[in-house]
Amino acid sequence: MLIELAIGDAYGAGFEYADEMSADNDLSRYVKHPRHRLIPGSYTDDTQMSIAIAEVIVSQAPWTPQVLADSFVNCFKRDRREGYAGGFYDFLLNISDGKEFLAKIRPDSDKSGAAMRAGPIGIFSTPQKVIEAATIQAAITHNTPDGINAAVAAALMSHYFIYRLGTKRKLGQFLEGYVSGEWSKPWEGKVKSKGWMSVRAAITAVTRNHSMSELLRDGIAFTGDVDTVATIALAAGSCSEEIIQDIPMHLVNGLENGVYGRDYLIELDKQLMSLVDNKTS
């Protein structure tokens, strides 16, 4: 899951709000964003914060705002990178730990930040546990109904596939049974910054594609906030037995591989997926 979402994020980063890049969406390479400084093949905040969440899950530490906020801060400080929204980047630069994070954050965003990092939470063994864990992590930064619902829906997407709860055609209906939103209504057109928009687009792409490569290309083709669409869609798609796992090898090999790059993600992925609760699946 983590390696796939990182590839989606890194690939999508070249196309984020850059409609003029659309002709390059052929999966042949990581493209350079026309305005951002990010090196092609580098992942962004979506992946770094998903790593922070996954590390807390794997460590089996208590699922508290403080532990989670510490992990967000730690992951950023040890591996600072472009791709965060400017205001949040400066915020992270100027605080020292999770305690200070919680004291100083204004947790009133309804954008996609809590949803983009929620995929790994699907590993928890029941929808109720997923909803509870996704809500606690979302409320740290996105304590609004839209911000939380988007995160819960994104976490339940991967849960649905990890635990084989149904066909991908029924994904939207499944989500509507647990969280408020028109999740089965197909998304069309550009994806703007609200979390539910990215999640709706990701559900649409997962539902209508049959391979990871089609899924990635289709998610990017929406245009707009597509690194987040691709992160959420590929996290879920990587767990679906109806989706052929065919991400091109040059995108796997081209993903950054520093201390927290490809090899780190593969290892953390193994630890995360080993926590699938086989008693309930």
3-state secondary structure of 194: strand
**Least separation in angstroms between CB 226 and Mg ion:** 10
Give the binding range for Mg ion (CB under 5 A) out of 105-113, 188-196, 224-232, 273-281.
224-232
Regarding 227 and contact with Mg ion (CB under 5 A), the answer is yes
Tokens for 54, please give them: 């996954």
d(CA 281, CA 279): 6
Residue choice 6, 18, 41, 46 for contact with Mg ion (CB under 5 A): 46
How many residues sit close enough to Mg ion to count as binding (CB under 5 A)? 5
With CB under 5 A as the contact rule, the residue among 4, 45, 55, 146 that binds Mg ion is 45
Which residues have CB under 8 Å from 138's CB, separation 6+? 114, 115, 118, 147, 148, 150, 151, 152
- Report d(CA 237, CA 195) in Å as an integer: 18
Least CB distance from residue 191 to Mg ion, whole Å? Answer: 12
Using DSSP, state whether 108 is helix, strand or coil: strand
Which of residues 45 and 146 has its CB atom nearest to Mg ion in the complex? 45
Segment near Mg ion (CB under 5 A); pick from 82-90, 138-146, 185-193, 215-223: 82-90
Does position 110 interact with Mg ion (CB under 5 A)? The reply is no
| DSSP reduced 3-state for 21 | helix
| Interface map 142-181 toward Mg ion (x if CB under 5 A) | ----------------------------------------
Looking at the Cβ atoms of 65 and 113, the one nearer to Mg ion is: 113
Nearest to 149 by CA among 137, 135, 160: 135
Note every long-range contact of 17-20, with CB atoms under 8 Å and residues 24 or more positions apart, other chains counting. 17/223, 17/224, 17/225, 19/190, 19/223
CB closer to Mg ion out of 63 and 89: 89
Neighbours of 4 (CB within 10 A): 27
In the complex with Mg ion, which residue's Cβ is closer, 54 or 131? 54
Give me Rg for the CA atoms of the chain: 17
CB of 10 to Mg ion, least distance (A): 10
What minimum distance in Å lies between the beta carbon of 205 and Mg ion?
17
Residue placing its CB nearer to Mg ion in the complex, 218 or 225? 225
> Does 225 engage in binding with Mg ion (CB under 5 A)?
no
Question: Which C-beta is closer to Mg ion: that of 141 or that of 172?
Answer: 141
Smallest CA-to-CA distance from 141 within 185, 84, 191 is with: 84
Q: At closest approach, how far in Å is the CB of 280 from Mg ion?
A: 32
| Least Å from the CB of residue 265 to Mg ion | 16
3-class DSSP state of 211: strand
Q: Which residues bind Mg ion (CB under 5 A)?
A: 44-46, 83, 227
